[in-house]
Structure 1
């Protein structure tokens, strides 16, 4: 696998990655804007908004790192000609992956605690004290991500075939990653597998819980509120879509990692495309599944449409 050189075979992957970065940046900025706008109005930052804000910032940071690597690749800036600079970038990249993954898991855990009912025990205490638990949870995620990124970076650096640049010539981060792609793949899987299990299990439980609750409402003695049932069914379908996305994404990621990347000339760019896809699709699903964010997005496009209509010159 040779990622160096502006091969035409890599161009479709690069174009898709750039589109992903553009869409992801817009959507994450939109989420941050909505959270900040509501904070200005209410003077309080709700627990769920704290997670959304951190997740948006983390995704933006991740997108920035991907953009830097693409810029270095196209413009031959030589940012990573010094291997220590490449190691610093590698650590930041792994930190961004870990923080995005665990913040996504914390968001799933937050909805799990808020929606579910618990009789007693630890989860019942967490539900009652969720306002004070969330800041501690976010701090814990920061520390875990910092620690895990250190271990993963050391695993790559001290591997039997660490990335090196003994020629002194220009080298992009693509070549640095390709030299230690096996260690990098195992590191990213290790960083994300725990958070994925938390996210998948909490989302799966919520889907089952909401489906059972909807079934009990339909079979209730009293006549159910059809409007309430329809809104409830929408929540179930949104959760099922999220669950389906997480399952397909990780299954596809593992299949491609172990059966395609090591055998394809464009394996590096394919892996980069998959890495860049997760935050984008996740934030899109998040906006579509959140009534407040979805309504704000509709209002934004409506205002833009009205502004274009007003500013359009009369024929």
Structure 2
């Protein structure tokens, strides 16, 4: 019986590890493709729109995040003792906070951009913001940088307190002490900062829903024509924001579960499952953005067509 449980554990651990690394590689490829297409378009046209600037920056930030996670996992598997030192934990936490911050806030800026560009509310404040969408996005990013600074200061303060307490009573490794006494407080602190872009994205989503509903009512009273383009834009923006919110919700839930079921953090399978849950956000959201963009879909089809021609050419040479 014990042997069977051990076998199931090994199989489950191996399966989750494979899924985790597959997610990372898939995410790096998807975000790399998106960044490459937008950069090539920028070089060809000698200019880049605001939405493409956001998408390019988002893709690059996610590449950094996924590469950081990939390297961290490789180090933890190859040199587990290296990741248990106080210095390494502090560096890893700070790097993760920075890359994750830009990942979330750039995606939030994308939602804000869609909200200001697509709906046509008659509210004077909305019109004022709509005409200054670039400034709104810039201010949103500046506010996010203030929150990033505050987040980093609080996290480093928490780690410093943890290190000082540990040095007073060195009974076991810092890694064990950190996960026993400090990790839950840090996760709770992260939830506060993670909730800010989530609430902002949820607000833009609800306002987009309201705008689509009012637009649909107007369409029922007029002949369908030019309004169809607005409806299509609404639906595309809603699809992007819905996907963002769903993946973001999974991301936050994975952190909340770690706080509520903190004792499970000692189990490797639970840690792997949580990592798979929150890596899904930066990995799969890029493919949703690619599928929702005509230019990106065409570029993707061109690559697939080129790969098919190349394969056929190689097979012809072999014959």
Mapped contact 2:101–2:148 kept (Cα < 8 A): yes
1:119-158 maps to which residues of 2 (within 5 A)? 119=122, 121-158=124-161
Q: CA RMSD in A?
A: 3.4
Partner Cα distance (2:224, 2:20) in 1: 51
TM-score by length of 2: 0.80
Partner of 1:249: 250
Query: Matched residues in 1 for 2:179 and 2:79: separation?
Result: 17
Deviant stretches of 4+, over 6 Å: 160-165
Matches within 5 A, 1:98-109: 98-109=101-112
Higher RCO structure (Cα 8 Å, ≥6 apart): 1
Distance verdict in 2 for CA 1:254–1:81, change over 3 Å: closer
Within-5 A mapping of 1:224-303: 224=225, 228=229, 231=232, 234-235=235-236, 238-239=239-240, 241-242=242-243, 245-246=246-247, 249=250, 252-253=253-254, 256-260=257-261, 262-263=263-264, 265=267, 266-303=269-306
Unaligned runs of 5+ in 2: 1-8
* Aligned counterparts of 1:257 and 1:77: Cα–Cα separation in 2: 21
Give 1:228 deviation, angstroms.
4.9
Q: How many residues align?
A: 305
Aligned to 1:19: 22
Assess, with a 3 A threshold, how the Cα gap between structure 1 residues 86 and 253 changes in structure 2: closer, same or farther. closer
Q: Deviations over 1:194-229 (max 9, x none)?
A: 111111221232133224323432x13325479758
Note the 1:144-223 alignment, pairs <5 A.
144-158=147-161, 178-179=179-180, 180-217=182-219, 219-223=220-224
- Judging by fraction of residues, say which structure has more helix: 2
Aligned-residue offset at 1:158: 2.4
TM-score normalised per structure 1: 0.81
- The alpha carbon displacement at 1:128 in A equals 1.2
SS at match of 1:80: helix
